[in-house]
Structures are given as C-alpha cells and as structure tokens.
Amino acid sequence: MKRTEKMEFVRHAASEGMVLLKNDNNTLPLSSKNTVALFGIASYQCFKLGWGSGDMLAQRIIQIDEALEAAGYKLEKTSNEIARAWVSSHKEEYQRVNRNWAEWVFRFNEIEITEEQVNNASKGAEYAIITIGRCSGEADDLKNEEGFFKLHSDESALIRNVSKSFKHTILILNTCGPLDLTSIEDCNIDSILYASMGGERFGYSVVDLISGETNPSGKLSTTWARVYEDYPTTEGITTMLVPYNEGIYVGYRYFDTFNVEPRYPFGFGLSYTTFDMKAGDFFVDGSIINFVVNVTNTGNVAGKEVVQCYISCPDGKMEKAYQDLCAYAKTKLLQPQQSEEIVISFDMTEIASYDEENARFVLEAGNYIVRYGNSSRNTHVAFVIKVEGEIVCVKTVNRLVPNNDALKLISKKGIAPYTYAGEAQEIADAEAFVLDPNAIELVVCDKYEDTPDELLIPKDDKLYTLEDVWNGDATVEDVVAQFSNEELAMLLNGVIYDSSNANANVGSMAIKVRGAAGELWTSEKYKIPTNAVADGPGGIRLSIFGTPEESDTDVCKEMVAYPSGTCLANTWSFDIALKFGMCVYDDMCISDIEGWLAPGINIHRNPLNGRNFEYMSEDPLLAGKTGAYITLGVQYDEETEPLGRYTTIKHFACNNIEYERGVSDSVVSERALREIYLKAFKIAIMESGALAVMTAYNKINGEFSSTSFDLLNGILRGEWGFDGIVMTDWNPCSDAKKHSYAGNDLIMPGCHKTDIIQGLEDGTVNKASAQKCACRILNLILKSNYVLKNR
Ligand code: BGC
C-alpha cells in the first residue's frame, strides 16, 4: 500500500468520524470565498491523539490554519498575525510535546487578544472559527473542573467575545471526548463540530467538512450529558473501589430509561442534506431477524446516513433498559433523490438478558419493540416481536459475583422513561409476530476450561523444534515438554533488553524493532523466531524516548498517526474500521512488527476516563463491531487467509478509569459485566478470530483481571472458545505466580522470569498450566512468524 493511500485514508476516515452537533441557519458549509478569523491555540496546533501508548509520533501534523489556506480561504489579518506570532514562539515546544502531550494540556487561551482586537477582526470577516483543544491520556483522568471536563474560564471568555462580535461563529471541538458546554450555552454560536482527535491529517479532515467537500456523516458513539452530574457513573471514581451502581444503565441506556435529557444523544449527528427512512419488510430466519430499511436522500447534496436499529425488551423478573442498540449500517454515498435498501440483521439470542439468579441468558416473555432511526432519540417503531413464554438461550454458571455490600444498584422503578409524541400509537399499530421458541437452540456452557493435571513429559531424547511442528513432524506439546524451568519461564515472559532505563516504560522494550513495546522469547535452539509487539491503538507506535535525532529512525518516520478510537467509532462504518486494519497491517509489514497492542475497546463508562479517546463507545455492539472489523483488516487478506500478523484486543476488562489503575477494583454486577462490559470483547474477539487479548491492570470484583481464572479460563476460553493467547498489560501488580493457572499465558514486558522459575521449582506455579500457556504461545508464533515466512 502506498503511503499516500494511507494518508488519504486518515483524512477521509477522520472526516467521517467528526460529528456536526449544531448548524443553525445552515451556516456550514462555508464557501472558500469567505475570509475567516481563526481563534484558539488548537486551530494552529491541534491534538492529533491523546498521550501515552495510544499516541503516535507524527513527522508533520496538518493544522486547521494551513488546511483552510490550502482550500482557498483567506485568514483575517489581525487575529491571524497575533496567533501566528504566539505559535512561532512555541513551535519547538509543540514539536517536543508531540512526543508527550501531557506537558501541553494546560494551554487554554494564552494567545492574548483583547476584546478590542477581536472586535476589529470582525470588521474584516463575517465568520469566526474557534477551536478548543482538550487532551487526556494514560495513567491520568480528566477532572470535573474548569480546564478539564468544563471549559476553562479563558476559553469561555474567548468564545463569548468572539461570538458577540462576529456575525457567525463556528466552534470546533478538538477534544478527547465530551465536554460540559454550560458556560457558553447563551453564546451565539451557529455551528459546532466535534472533531475529536483525527490523526495527522487533522486540519484537512476538518476543512473538508467546513467547505462541504465532505458531507458530515459521523454520529456520536457516546452520549453527551449537559453536566457531569447527569451521568450515573460519578460515584467512587477516585477511590480504590469503584462501584458500578448503574448496573446495565450505561450511557443512553441510562439517559433514556431515567428520562434525563442529554445535551447530544447517542447516535446523533447532523448532515448537510436530509434523509427519509422507511421501514420495509422483515423476515425471520430461526433466531435471526432481518429487516429492510429504505433510505432516500431528500436534500440537495450527496451524503451518507446511518441506520440505527434499537430494541426495547419487556420488563419481567429483570428490569430492562428503554432500548438497546441491536444493529446498525451506514449507507453508501447517496446522491440527491437516490435511495438505498439497507438490510440489517440481529440475533435474538444476543438480545437476551443475564439472569443472575439462575445463571442464564433468557428472553423473558412479552413484547420486544424494534425501532429504527438515525439517533437514539429519533426513532420510529418498525415491528414487534412477541415472546410468549420465557426462552432460555444460554445456561452457564455465575463466575464473577461482586460483593453486594459494595454495590447499590439503581432501579428504574417508579420512573417514567423517555417517550416521544405518537410513540404509544406507533406501538399499537405495529405489525407483530410471535417468535418460535424452537428457533432458539439452548447453549450450555457450565464447565470451566479444563486445566491439565498431567505434566507434559519429553517423548524421547530427540530435540524437537518449532520448525518440526511446522513441518508436521512434532506437536507444540513435544517442544514444550523438553523445556527446562528456565526455558519455560523465558517463554512465559516477554524479554526486556533495557530494564535499567526507567523511561523505557511505554515502548522501547524491543531489540528487533527499535521503539516497539516488547518482544517474546527467541530461541535458536528451538527455532523460535522473534515476535515483536508494538502499541496502539493510534497506529504502530515506535517510540524511543530522547531527542528526535536519536529516535526518529527511517522506520519510525514511515509510521502513520491514525484517528483516535472514538473518532473511528463515530464513523459507524464497517468499511472504515476494516480499511484501518488493512493500513495498520501495512505499517506492521514495513516495521516488522508481528503483534499490534490494539484495538482498545473498553466501554466509555465515565467521560473523565483519560483513555476514552483510545476506546470506542459506551455501547458494546458499536465498540465490539468496530474492534472486530479492525482485527479482520489486520489479520486476514481479502480471501480471509491469515496474514500472520495479529491484534491484541485490550484491556480485558473494566479499565474504565485511570485512577490507581494498577490496583483499583471495579465492582460490577455479573449482569452488567455480561450484557455490557464483556459483551464488547465477546463480539470483537468472536467475530474476528482475534489471536491475542491483553488483560487490564485493575481488579474486577476483588480479583485482578490478569489472574482471574473465571474471567480467562472460565468465560474467555471456556464459554467463548477463544484459543489465542492472553497477555498481561505492562508490569501488572497481580501475583506473577497466579497467571498461568488463570489462563494468562504471557507476562509483559518480562520482569517476572525469576518469580516463575522459583514458582516452578517450589510448586507455587502449576507446571502443567505453565506448559499449557507455553503451547498457546508457540501456537501463536506458528500462526504469526511461521505463516509470515511461508506466505
Ligand atoms: C498500557 C498498554 C500498552 C502497554 C505497552 C501500558 O502502559 O496500558 O495499553 O499496550 O503499556 O506500551
């Protein structure tokens, strides 16, 4: 793939993921004949991504000012000169912080421009554009304070001044996620574009939308509340015990069920054209419901729309949310008057609720209302599915039960949900059909993955290598059986080459590829080739701490900074997620990286989480599907043949806040885990055949995710049938000796070799489990390095 193709992709993908939140009087698009006054540091020096392992170095980031000029806009002189003078005096700093944004976060409105100067500027231009930047990153969270989740007083003052003076004001939000916009609610702002973090072509993507070159089609993957206090997830996020008291009511599931008006609802996003959506036929195939929606572009310019399908499940023994997203699809680019018939499908077994009392997924009796529309707050009823008696879909055992004293689940009892005019009539008029209970096949998964109690013993005296396995002359078990305790410990640990370097924490661990995050054990004796892994999810992050001269190798320079996970999810496009994976695959080929430590698909539970920009959505279907398509793009070619490179879906699970992430405990009901938090992973992993998973640092219900037998061997492997490898996050706080028994194969980046050897010797590490982990790692190397070599 040519680099220019990837750059075009970054530009296009980011513009599809930017969401137009407001556009009064069709202020946008804006003809390039206009002169524009440009304000705000981020108009000149944007955040392409947040900081930490989700960041990327970029050789050249396209800024909004230059992109506007490139598109033919004139920049108003006074405002531009003042800003550019500030920018040029901070150029080096900006280049440096491109390596660590954390230093840059507290820059709000340092470009000093007086009210009078703003007023003068408005004489030379009718249109003002202000960009507000907000960054966040690993190991830190936003706060519900000014300059974090709230606008800084300097930012509000700038917006106030500008919107008072100019005829038209356009606000661009170059932010890691939602912000509280209360302080500027009364300002006269015509248009708001949530540009999120669009990677290294950021400026071009923004200007493509401003100019109308691209028609906005992004939709919010996460609800924007009016104020922080409106979210149901605020309790305990800066404590060691985080109670998920909202249970299943995460994001729109809460706002709709408890009838709290969001600032911008889930799924919302404007376009420069209008669409008409009509429900067509539906047909049922066993448990699969297929449903036709006809979409017509009824406006004057070409555009794309997202068909969103929600289902409202009936209350029974369990409370249900007002609605859950059950399917979605994006149209092609529709010309004015052009229509497209979209067929969307969902499986009723995926809709089932988790009944903790009986440890099963069940469709309770009642009416299931299927809705379609273009946001969670703009839908109509399509049809009704009647379930006449309860249908049990899956029988299992409870594996992740919280300490109930720490959890006070909220209930919707006595609260009227959101409704819209005519809803009751639509439900009464809707066509209904009865779901055949025999269409659903009961799945029973009530056993743990078996752990071996029999040790692997060497077959004979011959030396078996991985090459012999590849050639069909031995099995991975034959190879592993010969390992000494030390060799076993080497394979179960990553390899650190520079443990003396305190900075070598994120990245910089590998020797095969400079700047990669780590490497697996290499052995000439057993013909185990080097398998190198690099972060994500912003691209293939090759980062060497130090000066640009030291760190920017030619390969580093070739790597691309892609849009953030949130921006990609805001596209609601399977095609874009797939193409993103294909681009990353190409970067992996260039840099010789086998494993990519991404995508990150944790749920956007709380808007303050510093890593939300890396993650996709508050909804498990949207997060899971986006992760699945990215993985398909990395791991398989067009004929679905394995390519030998792999993704590592992370952070499994419930890394929903960074505060004390190494040791904090997420206390979650098993129902919410299974219906929301784990579901995203289930979709991403099972629908893509992902080869690797990274556990989270935090605990879930008292046990570290990385040493949770129930989570890893019980659910991931036992129930979902995952047969790839599980690795820890870097330097976990969990007990190294417990990993292999729990089903966590690999400890990264590799500081625990001695503990494992000791454990194997004194019996505190179960050798048979350790051997099983080793077999899985070798299988990955076969599917990766050996496939690559032999393709
Ligand atoms: C992050 C991971 C990352 C790893 C390697 C950790 O600090 O949490 O997401 O993959 O570092 O850089």
Q: Is 588 in the pocket of ligand 1 (CB under 6 A)?
A: no
Ligand 1 mean position to 56 CA, how many Å?
13
Mutate to test the pocket of ligand 1, among 140, 501, 506 (most ligand atoms within 8 A of CB): 506
Q: What are phi and psi of 624, to 5 degrees?
A: -65, -45
Ligand 1 mean position to 149 CA, how many Å?
24
Ligand 1 mean position to 651 CA, how many Å?
9
Ligand 1 mean position to 451 CA, how many Å?
29
- Give the position, in ligand 1's atom list, of the atom nearest the Cα of 507: 12
Residue 546: per-residue pLDDT: 54
What is the distance between the terminal CA atoms of the chain, rounded to a whole angstrom?
18
Mutate to test the pocket of ligand 1, among 49, 51, 53, 55 (most ligand atoms within 8 A of CB): 53
Do residues 365 and 390 touch, judged by C-beta distance below 8 A?
A: yes
Q: Is 737 in the pocket of ligand 1 (CB under 6 A)?
A: no
Residue 547: per-residue pLDDT: 56
Name the pairing type of β-strands 378-387 and 431-434: parallel
Q: Atom 8, ligand 1: which residue's CA is nearest?
A: 729
Residue 100: per-residue pLDDT: 63
Q: Atom 3, ligand 1: which residue's CA is nearest?
A: 53
Q: Is 140 in the pocket of ligand 1 (CB under 6 A)?
A: no
The single-letter DSSP state of residue 282 is: E
- Strands laid side by side in the 378-387 sheet: 324-330, 306-312, 366-375, 378-387, 431-434
Residue 549: per-residue pLDDT: 61
Q: Find tokens 């029988």 and name the residue.
A: 395
Residue 186: CB atoms within 10 Å: 9
Q: Which tokens hold the place of 167?
A: 């005829």
d(CA 173, CA 464): 58
Ligand 1 mean position to 505 CA, how many Å?
8
Q: Which pTM was predicted?
A: 0.97
Ligand 1 mean position to 614 CA, how many Å?
12
Do residues 264 and 220 touch, judged by C-beta distance below 8 A?
A: yes
Q: Is 652 in the pocket of ligand 1 (CB under 6 A)?
A: no
Do residues 132 and 152 touch, judged by C-beta distance below 8 A?
A: no
Q: Chain centroid to CA 162: how far? A: 35
Q: What is the helix, strand, coil percentage profile of the chain, to 5?
A: 30, 20, 45
Q: Is 611 in the pocket of ligand 1 (CB under 6 A)?
A: no
Give the gyration radius of the chain's Cα atoms. 26
Q: Which tokens hold the place of 15?
A: 């513009």
Residue 720: per-residue pLDDT: 96
Residue 503: per-residue pLDDT: 46
Q: Is 516 in the pocket of ligand 1 (CB under 6 A)?
A: no
Region of 743 (left: φ > 0; alpha: ψ -120 to 50; beta: rest) is left
Do residues 370 and 381 touch, judged by C-beta distance below 8 A?
A: yes
- Smallest CA-to-CA distance from 611 within 601, 620, 626 is with 601
d(CA 270, CA 201): 22
Q: Chain centroid to CA 485: how far? A: 38
Q: Which tokens hold the place of 207?
A: 């200007």
Q: Is 729 a catalytic residue?
A: yes
d(CA 776, CA 192): 49
- Give the position, in ligand 1's atom list, of the atom nearest the Cα of 749: 5
Name the pairing type of β-strands 366-375 and 378-387: antiparallel
Q: Is 730 in the pocket of ligand 1 (CB under 6 A)?
A: yes
Indicate which residue of 355, 619, 729, 745 is catalytic: 729
Mutate to test the pocket of ligand 1, among 535, 543, 612 (most ligand atoms within 8 A of CB): 535
Ligand 1 mean position to 708 CA, how many Å?
19
Contacts of 135 (CB under 8 A, 6+ apart): 47, 50, 51, 101, 102, 104, 105, 176
Contacts of 416 (CB under 8 A, 6+ apart): 259
Extract the residue ranges of the chain whose pLDDT is less than 50. 502-505
- Smallest CA-to-CA distance from 112 within 90, 94, 127 is with 90
Q: Which tokens hold the place of 307?
A: 């068909």
d(CA 736, CA 759): 9
Do residues 523 and 791 touch, judged by C-beta distance below 8 A?
A: no
Q: Is 324 in the pocket of ligand 1 (CB under 6 A)?
A: no
d(CA 294, CA 275): 10
Mutate to test the pocket of ligand 1, among 503, 597, 611 (most ligand atoms within 8 A of CB): 597
Residue 452: per-residue pLDDT: 64
Q: Which tokens hold the place of 33?
A: 């004949």
Do residues 171 and 189 touch, judged by C-beta distance below 8 A?
A: yes
Ligand 1 mean position to 667 CA, how many Å?
23
Q: Is 11 in the pocket of ligand 1 (CB under 6 A)?
A: no
Residue 504: per-residue pLDDT: 47
**What angle (nearest 5°) sits at the alpha carbon of residue 353, between those of residues 349 and 358?**
110
